[in-house]
Structure 1
Amino acid sequence: MCDLHDPSDHDHAVRTGDGLSRRRIMQMLGAAGIATTAMAATADPAMAAASDEAAGLAAADAAAYTAPGGLAQDSDAKRTALGWLDRNASRITGLNDEIWEHAELSLREWNSSLAEAEFLRKAGFDVRFGTAGFPTAFTATYTRGKGGPVIGFSGEYDALPGLSQNKGAGEHDPKEYVHDPFAPGYGPGHGCGHCALGAAAAAAAAAVAEASRRHKLDVTVKFFGSTAEEQLIGKTYAVSQGVYDGLDAFLDWHPSTGNATGWGTSNAMTAVTFTFLGVAGHGGTPLGNKSALDAAVMMATMSEFLREESMAPSARLHWVINNGGDIPNVTPEIAEISYYVREGSVARVTSLLDKVIAVSEAAATASRTSVRHRITSACWNQLPSKAFAELMYDNMRQIGPPAHSADAQRLARELQSSLGLPESGLHDKVSPLTPPNPVFLGGGSTDVADISWQVPTVSMGAALAPVGSKMHTWSTASCAGSAPGHAAIRAAASYLAATAVDLLVKPELLAGIKEEFRKRTEGLTWKTALPEGYEPPMYEPPAWFLKKTGQSWPPENITWPPRRIISKEKFSSLGPALEPQV
């Protein structure tokens, strides 16, 4: 999504025309070569649960499948919800623009979380900050009547580092340029569109609450403002603490390059940081120094050799050296390299992670440094819901694609030109609903996945970024704060609200969705992928934020201050001194 969560990366690949998706083409070309991988996957319980067979459904053939109609109902309650969205359109896009301007990084979304929470408070929700101990996470609840279903919505608001961009600019033009003569860079930006994600989801939750008030529909609407999605921290830990227990249905969306939903799965993932410790010394007299950076570079190099023989087509392995020293004439005493290890299930991630850890130990041995690692997050693959996706698709089909203006399409074509892509603009259709590919080829990950094992969950994407582009780019940040983002928000909020209202006015739909969930999870017990004793990373909030949200510091679930990481390594011996040559 976001990092990690882009529906176009999953099996319900977004199509940009009437042809086959990239995923389908890859499957057709490569299925024979990875048949062994496919057979191994079916033996994995978590991957098997994501298959249609687990729900007692016949594996659908893409060519023969036709999405059912008549699921989405035109009701007074739905018209009320959609009307509320229309009347409050400027407030909703205003919320997006405010969060876009803040562009706050994971775990530090002080102003962004407050803005989203205040929007919901004005809509009649009770707001409580500090969900699962995270200062910027909150739960907003609206209840009408007794005994109604509990419907959850997912909100996010964190930006990405280095993706600052002026809104509506058609070429790379950072809004915040970091001047440093030795290390220039860019400030943070909403290169994954979480400003839009949170704004549309909050608007949908408010619209459903309004429909329940006006039409006396019993319901509890719960909105979960989640921190640090880009690092897959906020929801994975919150699920392990029971935050999402008691829900009947959960609705999720993510900005994308197309308009689509589906019932494919995603990759499980573990994020891990390796810390190498050496001995500092003058670069001009390096003998006996121990370079932690050398160790990190060796690890990065050796881990690349895992790709041919240790990584299936569903696997992903990517890394960044996030601490490599400051100046060349001081041998780096501490260096850190972080990996995202992805595979089709937690068990398969563990197998690959063990190999990555072995590489770290080899690098430490070769460099005479020491190494330790800490897991910062871990999530499951997503459990799909065919029935939920079919209901969402019927609503998307009835409502139609985002109404992108001529200005929005012009910006998209300018961005495509800047990126060397065909100038086709923004996706202007709702992609057909098709079955997931029978051979899972991997892709992105999402911390919504852990929620999907607790409650039936549907995800969809709405076109915010140009066709052919990707999330996690400056071009997405340009769109997220301007016309393309505004249109995507209005469409996404409508899709979410309309689907949720159908669950209220047609309870048989919710019953069917829950029955499929029961079948998929039968005999399989979810257990968090986070390690025993895990403490989530956090930053200490400013005093004004704690006061405004009624929190105290630190929360009970972390050790504060954190334990310091200090090198105790000794200089390396060169052996006995050599006798001088005469």
Structure 2
Amino acid sequence: MDEMKKMLCHDVEEMNEELFELASFIFDNPEYNYEEYKAAELLTNYLRKQGFTVETGVAGLPTAFRAEWENGTGGPVIGFLGEYDALKDLGHGCGHHLQTPICIGAALAVRKNIQDKPYKLVIYGTPAEETTGGKLIMAKTGCFKELDVAFAYHSAGATRVPTSSKALQSIYVTFHGKPSHASESPELGRSALDAMVLSFNGLEYLREHIKDGCRIHYTIKESTGPSNIVHEIAKAAYTLRAPDKIYLENMVKRFEKIIKGAVLMTETTYDVKYNLPFHNIIPIPVLRKTVLNNAVKMKLDDIDWNKDSSGGGSTDFGNVSWIIPSVVIYTDYCDAPSHTQEWVDAGKTEKARKSLVIGASLLAMSVYDLINCPDLIEQAKSELEKAKKALENRE
């Protein structure tokens, strides 16, 4: 490892107590779905004290922010995207309390040590990843477009860089029927519940005829009432996932046909609401290689080089990856599946602290590589355009 990277790692280690205090406060005060007020205030106040120019309420979201620091002019614009939302009724069961402190630590280490080249560091605070995806709204208002490259961190069970994530569409359908008594005059009623159940059955038959890697989830959103009535209202929530956003769009069209068929068979009607879709992550080989090479230099013993290293989950960071070259770094945090009590229990352990130090160090080292060799950024941009064209032109 060269001397500059040693210094970056040293400075992250020196900051680890302060960074872990930030993470611990966020962990102890879990907030959810655009209500991450304490976390946003803590992080923005800290960044202002560190000399960053901070904008709050970004994209009209009260808990989103943008912080900037520039060294010289005309250099690359490097973005760090951090989350801090928790899971409702569980707390920090996905490790989001670590994310933004890690981004801040990496940015501060870079700022202290790299002073002979021009660059700009931008830290975005992005709320509500676990629900509707704050990055989606932020991207629609023009956030992230100024960046040359975007970095993010996530907790995991090993050090790796995922090669994909699943595209996701959340859909809410309200079925409207005609009420009646289920025994006295069932012929006068038209059952919204029947329409909903038929939609569930239709999706089960769809499973047989979609690509491997796709997922279909559904649930009854609200109770439909007692069993001795013909139900006037039935509300359901659906989630469709696919390996990429192009195939997801096809799945959504087939889903819509199933809903129309269900209401046709039951002589009911429906209203539908679509959340903004989560896109799949587009992998950038040069960025993945840069990060994992630095993991080797750190002599980490848990590196996952699997080219198909991807999870079954979805993230709004995927949408960012369709705009600019992006990479998310995973480090070892907990062996259990995420969104579990085990992940909550791991939140303030020494393993979590170690994950923070490794994550911030890998981010800082990889940012240094890009600032020191701008050709890597150009290669990343070229790889992104080729990957997008390949997906969009696929039959």
| Contact persistence 1:120–1:206 (CA under 8 A) | no
Other-structure match for 2:51:
124
Higher strand share: 2
Compared CA separation, residues 291 and 279, structure 1 to 2 (3 A): same
Distance apart, 1:190 and its partner CA:
1.5
2:371 partner letter: L
Other-structure match for 2:157:
257
Could you say what secondary structure the match of 2:270 adopts?
A: strand
Cα separation, 2, equivalents of 1:522 and 1:142: 34
Q: Deviations over 1:383-402 (max 9, x none)?
A: 2111111110111112244x
Compared CA separation, residues 369 and 209, structure 1 to 2 (3 A): farther
Compared CA separation, residues 347 and 435, structure 1 to 2 (3 A): closer
1:488 partner letter: S
| Contact persistence 1:316–1:442 (CA under 8 A) | no
Could you say what secondary structure the match of 1:237 adopts?
A: helix
Question: For 1:481, which of 341, 344, 348 is the aligned residue?
Answer: 348
Other-structure match for 1:16:
none
Cα separation, 2, equivalents of 1:516 and 1:75: 30
Distance apart, 1:525 and its partner CA:
7.8
Could you say what secondary structure the match of 2:271 adopts?
A: strand
Give 1:13-92 correspondences, 5 Å limit: 74-76=2-4, 78-92=5-19
1:353 aligns to 2:281 (yes or no): no
Compared CA separation, residues 205 and 319, structure 1 to 2 (3 A): farther
2:303 partner letter: S
1:315 aligns to 2:214 (yes or no): yes
Question: For 2:317, which of 448, 468, 477 is the aligned residue?
Answer: 448
Cα separation, 2, equivalents of 1:447 and 1:232: 9
1:384 aligns to 2:283 (yes or no): yes
Give 1:86-485 correspondences, 5 Å limit: 86-161=13-88, 187-212=89-114, 215-261=115-161, 264-278=163-177, 287=186, 292-308=192-208, 310-325=209-224, 333-401=232-300, 429-436=301-308, 443-466=312-335, 469-485=336-352
Cα separation, 2, equivalents of 1:100 and 1:283: 50
Cα separation, 1, equivalents of 2:312 and 2:279: 13
Could you say what secondary structure the match of 2:69 adopts?
A: strand
Compared CA separation, residues 285 and 194, structure 1 to 2 (3 A): farther
Cα separation, 1, equivalents of 2:84 and 2:348: 13
Range with greater deviation from structure 2 (282-291 or 341-350): 282-291
Compared CA separation, residues 236 and 525, structure 1 to 2 (3 A): farther
Compared CA separation, residues 299 and 501, structure 1 to 2 (3 A): same
Name the larger-Rg structure: 1
| Contact persistence 1:107–1:227 (CA under 8 A) | yes
| Contact persistence 1:105–1:188 (CA under 8 A) | no
TM-score normalised according to structure 2 size: 0.88
Compared CA separation, residues 300 and 133, structure 1 to 2 (3 A): same
Cα separation, 2, equivalents of 1:108 and 1:511: 38
Cα separation, 1, equivalents of 2:225 and 2:36: 28
Where do 5+ consecutive residues of structure 2 fail to align?
none
Distance apart, 1:259 and its partner CA:
1.3
Cα separation, 2, equivalents of 1:208 and 1:285: 75
Compared CA separation, residues 524 and 306, structure 1 to 2 (3 A): closer
| Contact persistence 1:324–1:332 (CA under 8 A) | no
Could you say what secondary structure the match of 2:219 adopts?
A: strand
Compared CA separation, residues 463 and 320, structure 1 to 2 (3 A): farther
1:399 partner letter: M
Cα separation, 2, equivalents of 1:199 and 1:146: 26
| Contact persistence 1:233–1:376 (CA under 8 A) | no
How many residues are treated as equivalent by the alignment?
A: 392
Could you say what secondary structure the match of 2:221 adopts?
A: strand
Could you say what secondary structure the match of 1:320 adopts?
A: strand
Q: Deviations over 1:489-543 (max 9, x none)?
A: 12111111111122223334334334433544569889xxxxxxxxxxxxxxxxx
| Contact persistence 2:90–2:341 (CA under 8 A) | no
| Contact persistence 1:96–1:195 (CA under 8 A) | yes
Cα separation, 2, equivalents of 1:266 and 1:388: 16
Cα separation, 1, equivalents of 2:229 and 2:349: 45
Cα separation, 1, equivalents of 2:3 and 2:199: 59
Compared CA separation, residues 482 and 295, structure 1 to 2 (3 A): farther
Distance apart, 1:293 and its partner CA:
4.1
Distance apart, 1:283 and its partner CA:
8.6
| Contact persistence 2:240–2:252 (CA under 8 A) | yes
Cα separation, 1, equivalents of 2:107 and 2:189: 58
| Contact persistence 2:82–2:153 (CA under 8 A) | no
Where do 5+ consecutive residues of structure 1 fail to align?
1-72, 162-186, 402-428, 527-582
Compared CA separation, residues 523 and 307, structure 1 to 2 (3 A): closer
Compared CA separation, residues 90 and 524, structure 1 to 2 (3 A): same
Cα separation, 2, equivalents of 1:355 and 1:490: 46
1:105 partner letter: Y
| Contact persistence 2:196–2:236 (CA under 8 A) | yes
